[in-house]
Amino acid sequence: MNDSILFIKGIIYGLFLLAGLPATAEAQATGSGFIAKLESELVALAENSLPAVVNISPYVPPSPSIARQGEPRERATNAGAGVIINGKQGYIVTNSHVVRKAQKVTITLYGGKKLVGNTLGYDEDTDLAVIKAESDEVLPEVELGDSAQLKVGQFAIAIGNPYGLNDTFTFGIISGLNRENVNISQYEDFIQTDASINPGNSGGPLFNIQGKVIGINTAIINYAQGIGFSIPSNTVKFVTRQLIENGEVKRGWMGVGIDFITDEVARKESVEKEDGVLINSVFDGQPADKAGLKVGDIILRIAGSKVDSPSKMIRLIGSITPGQTVNVDILRDGQKKTLSVLLAKRFEEPVQVAKLEPAEPRPLGFTVQGLDDAVRKSFNLTNADGVVVTQVQPKSVAQDGGLRRGDVITAANGRKIFKKEDLDDVLQSRFEDQPLFFLVVRKEEKVHLTLYGTNPMPQGGSAKPH
């Protein structure tokens, strides 16, 4: 019988003791010994790790009543925790929502000493930030572990400052892995734990029993007990390295819009809906377009890793730096193909600021308006000819197909669109179950979109390009 089994049995026997249940003398002795060993290990872990956990709060200048020339005015709006990952350089990792783009924060070390910290960079897509402490001394630090090796049921320890109670140490287990669709950040792949996490724990570390950081605590579900989420340490490594070196995170960009595989496509291609993701738009001249990817292709694997959801693909592409070439396995018309895609720098989405009064929505869930000087000015449009999308209904075929307010439809099913009547003719001449192929101009980029049938595509897919 190996040591780990003996250890677990000892805990079980110890729990019998604590519950006052009967056990043999041998079991009681074994249980007491292993409970004492577990207690000793946790005490040692606390003593070694607590000095590397800090409190982060808004920076207050020495003379707050005097406006000093050159003093940064941005301040953190939240108090939270952080953990020192490089004591010599003074690098501290925390949540981006803790610093809120602040240039300076106040760092309180274990024991009460205060330092000033400067924000090196933050990444809202993963809710991570790196602070550099101003210190002449080498600070205590902890090591980032390998979150890829985690398993459900392993012990987890969270440290933070819940409700202002500094240096709070809580103990639990890993309850789940690869949690997504929590709607906390863009790149979601969370560790779920029942180690108590409360407001003020944000940015604090989640440790394994060996004292290595396996995650950075980021959120809780307010209406549930024992459900907290942490950003995996391997994600922390990737993001913090780039923030320290570049001040920003550079992510790969393919130039496609994606969603879950629809029931119709799954039947047509004889695949399961979890076998890949469906390309519903391709940006003209972008990496995917140059590599030959098309609307309607099903992406099966990227760089050898299975793509079973839009969120998974977002994480895969986002973990690859621009300039690298990746193999993309696709299914097209029943045939598997492998294409090489040279990733570019991530595309920044346009921001729509104009607003027109919506007309009666069309059956597919969108409305359009012809282009005159006033409309062009409202939507900041220049040379594009066609009709502009003025409204897209939530959960509609148009939204699920990737159509957005402000898109200029220049062609539909291969026909040039110059006015609303042209689009009406195309819509009226098409059969109800036929796909609708659009060419649109979006912030001077050409984008191919496909709208399927009259029924909305499954919810939960990504409306963002990748």
Beta-carbon neighbour count of residue 318 at 10 Å?
22
Distances (CA, A) of 428 to 164, 363, 408, 421, 423: 63, 11, 20, 10, 9
Known active-site residue 340: no
Quote the pTM value.
0.63
Write down the catalytic residue from 57, 123, 127, 448: 127
Q: Domain spanning 252-345 has what CATH number?
A: 2.30.42.10
- Return the CATH number of 54-63+72-249, one of 1.10.730.10, 3.20.20.80, 1.25.40.340, 2.40.10.120: 2.40.10.120
Per-residue pLDDT of the chain (466 residues; tens, 9 = 90+): 444 444 444 555 455 454 455 555 665 555 566 677 777 777 888 888 889 999 888 887 776 544 444 444 443 445 788 999 999 999 999 988 888 778 899 999 988 899 999 999 888 888 899 999 998 899 999 999 999 899 998 888 888 765 556 677 888 888 888 887 665 666 777 888 888 777 667 888 999 988 899 999 887 665 556 688 889 999 999 999 999 988 888 888 888 888 888 778 888 888 888 889 988 888 878 899 899 998 889 999 999 989 888 888 888 888 888 899 999 999 998 899 999 999 988 654 432 222 333 334 456 788 888 887 767 776 777 777 889 888 777 777 888 788 888 889 988 887 889 888 888 888 877 666 677 888 888 877 788 888 875 533 333 333 445 6
Domain covering 366-451 assigned CATH 3.40.50.300 in the classification: no
Known active-site residue 400: no
DSSP per-residue codes, 309-354: SHHHHHHHHHTS-TT-EEEEEEEETTEEEEEEEE-EEPPPPP----
pLDDT given for residue 427 in this prediction = 82
CB-based contact 150:174 (threshold 8 Å): yes
pLDDT given for residue 157 in this prediction = 87
Query: What sign for the dihedral angle of Cα 164, 167, 173, 177?
Result: positive
Write down the catalytic residue from 49, 57, 96, 97: 97
Beta-carbon neighbour count of residue 411 at 10 Å?
18
Known active-site residue 147: no
Write down the catalytic residue from 147, 175, 185, 202: 202
